[in-house]
Structure 1
Amino acid sequence: MSAALAIRPRFSGHETFACRFAWLPKAVRLIARDPLALSDDERAILELGLGKNMVRALRFWLEAFDVASARDGSWALLPFGKMVFGENGLDPYIERVETQWLLHWQLSTAVENPLFAWRHILYRRMRTDFTRSELLAEMRDEGKRLGYDHSDVTLLQHADVFLHSYVGSLSSASPEDALDGPLVDLGLVRRLGRRRGGADRIEPVFALSRIPLADIGSTVVDYAIASFWRARRAGETVITFRDLAYGEGSPGSTLRLEPDDLRDHLERSSGLWSYRLSGDAGNVSSVVIPDPDRLLREVYA
């Protein structure tokens, strides 16, 4: 297997539906009542009041958000899902913006099977702005580089699910989509007007935003640092500031933090992190062993 194919991104499974606000809490309650029901299309349709394709999309999002997974048809909450959504969970109905940021983090930072559009848009592109046709051309090239040959329809549907997740519906035909996604309120993607795109069409322009750390919360950022450290730098006692600010799956790139904001946070958080200037960037060490589970609880303290 080539080095490129060692990364196995996901291109589909969402049935072209972005996750709706009510889906995760509904599914968690169903899993608590009957761990087998969600794997049975007909029972899940009756229990959840969703169509068959939406049920399949919901199963996809449960796994993509690291909330729950199935084994032999039986669903169970994963550690993150149990802590946030389970019985006596920290925020079972997604009432706090911190939960929305944590869901974005879980969705965007999978190591083994990342969502292709998320990985490409957040970590692989140099420019922050794009049209749908520009994104399609890039994703086609990137997919081929990784050894895949998906149709343009599959790639564009996947790109549209990313956009629907953060800016809502691209069409006024279904305005409820713009209100129903748990990630829309984060403001991570904004519309920037229009410009000429593929086939000489005038297209909407989208861009990734920079987010002030105060809008995310320092405890969410600390959780992200510890989670990044455990998932991607396990066993290392020191990591570079550049890794934390710009690396794939990093707090800086995933949460769209300004590097100066992240640096100031590290300097203020002397009980957790030790930041030392080194060359043009700096090195970060952990004052205590990074513990994402403890820091997750502190988000809601």
Structure 2
Amino acid sequence: MGEGGCRPYRHRPLQHRRRGRTGRRADRRRAETGCARTEIRMTLAALRPRFSGHETFACRFAWLPKAIRLITRDSRALSDDERAILELGLGKNMVRALRFWLEAFDVASVEAGTWSLLPFGEAMFGDNGLDPYIERAETQWLLHWRLSTAVENPLFAWRHILYRRMRPDFTRSELLAEMRAEGERLGYEHSDVTLLQHADVFIHSYLGSLNPASPEDALDGPLVDLGLLRRLGRRRGADRIEPVFTLTRIPISEIGVGVVNYAIASYWTARRAGESVVTFRDLAHGEGSPGATLRMETDDLRDHLERSPAPWSYRPSGDAGSVIAVADLDPARLLREIYT
């Protein structure tokens, strides 16, 4: 068996030259297809994307600071439903959602009922944190970055909408059909209710609640102000007219040069560790890349790389080009520099 459990292609001579070529191509296609399917399964097993856990609630602005103060006072309090409900002033399902978002934003983790801040959470929200109350736009961009670029256990809707779709616009029914097909292709089967709730959480995270049923529902979260998603009229679907949503492109001047530099270094160390060269195409369009995650225009990112004094050098080459690391990449240092 070859790498990944696929049998390596072995040529078996055929009697006729023309048929032999065709046979070899067919054998190779079968081998490559089998390997591709195995790779999909292996990649999926490593990713283990999440479809639920948020209890259908998008994260609210006040949730992260509240939870971090509670964790700082008592690292086990958040694991106790009754105490967390009392201390945070939230319902049981919202407490569960808050736990989910703490981990999804890479802010905190729990082990055996004990919560602790992760390095990003400690730097941003711990003692002497850089922005403990999420008062700066850069912090909101960083939260979007951490949420969207998880290598393990990524949120399925985020991964699909930001990195897998070709078009920026969609309706809820279109998104549901795509997510159902993508999930089945990867070997996951979820009910339409679960998939649609998951898609709605993405929409509500960036647009706020469209039809708030309570005062709590009307409270926006830390990602709404980014302007990454907007409504774009309506169009007819299979059986009804629906709102259309579209992802927008954001200029670097609105994101912040420091956030972009941090994103480049973070992407490089997380997904290209040990490599001294990354293609511009990967930085602009790859899964988890700064260009795709922060919704930057390609020319805007290229101009930034050409002008940036950061620890890399851009080498243009036709339509592609490459970026070369010329010094140590230190996301933690670049994170601090955003707030200096």
Which TM class, normalised by the smaller chain length?
over 0.9
1:154 match: 194
For the pair 1:257 / 2:296, whether they are aligned, the reply is yes
Paired residue for 2:179? 139
For residue 286 of structure 1, report the CA deviation from its aligned partner. 1.6
Equivalent residues of 1:178, 1:184 under 8 A apart: no
2:273 paired with 1:234: yes
Offset of 1:157 from its aligned partner?
0.3
**Residue 95 of structure 2, aligned match among 48, 55, 76:** 55
1:1-301 to structure 2, matched below 5 A, reads 2-6=41-45, 7-174=47-214, 177=217, 179-198=219-238, 200-301=239-340
C-alpha distance after superposition, 1:240-261 (max 9, x if no partner): 0000000000000000000111
Going from structure 1 to structure 2, the CA distance change for 1:246 and 1:238 (only over 3 Å counts) comes to same
Give the ranges of 4+ consecutive aligned residues of structure 1 lying more than 6 Å apart after TM superposition.
Answer: none
CA contact (8 A) 2:212 2:218 kept: no
How far is 1:8 from its partner?
Answer: 1.1
For residues 147-193 of structure 1, what are the alpha-carbon distances to aligned partners after superposition, in whole Å with 9 as ceiling and x for unaligned?
10100000000000000000011215447645421000000001001
Q: Structure 2 vs 1, CA of residues 175 and 169 (structure 1 numbering), >3 Å: closer, same or farther?
A: farther
Report if the CA contact (8 A) 2:209-2:220 is conserved. Answer: no
Alpha carbons of structure 1 residues 56 and 97: separation in structure 2 relative to 1, 3 Å: same
Q: Partner amino acid for 2:89?
A: G
* Higher RCO (CA 8 Å, separation ≥ 6 residues): 1
CA distance in 2, matches of 1:172, 1:32: 32
Q: Give the superposition deviation at 1:281.
A: 1.1
> Radius of gyration: which is bigger?
2
Could you list the per-position Cα deviations for residues 211-246 of structure 1 after superposition, in whole angstroms to 9, with x for gaps in the alignment?
010000000000000000011000000000000000
For 2:266, what is the secondary structure of its paired residue? helix
Deviation at 1:58, TM superposition (A): 0.1
C-alpha displacement of 1:5: 2.7
Distance (Å, rounded) in 1 between the aligned partners of 2:194 and 2:314: 44
Q: Bigger CA drift: 174-183 or 200-209?
A: 174-183
Contact 1:25 1:85 in 2 (8 A): yes
Structure 1 segments unaligned to the other structure (5+ residues) = none
1:130, CA displacement in angstroms?
0.1
Gaps of 5+ in 2: 1-37
Q: 1:35-67 CA deviation, whole Å, 9 max, x = no partner?
A: 000001001000000000000000000000000
**Equivalences, count:** 300
Aligned partners of 1:12, 1:172: CA distance in 2, in Å? 21
Amino acid in structure 2 at the alignment position of 1:73: G
Indicate the larger mover: 64-73 or 271-280. 271-280
Identity fraction in percent: 80
CA distance in 2: counterparts of 1:32 and 1:270, whole angstroms: 38
Q: Secondary structure at the match of 2:231?
A: strand
Q: Is the 8 A contact 1:164 1:170 kept in 2?
A: yes
TM-score, normalised relative to structure 1: 0.97
Separation in structure 1 between the aligned mates of residue 116 and residue 42 of structure 2, nearest angstrom: 33
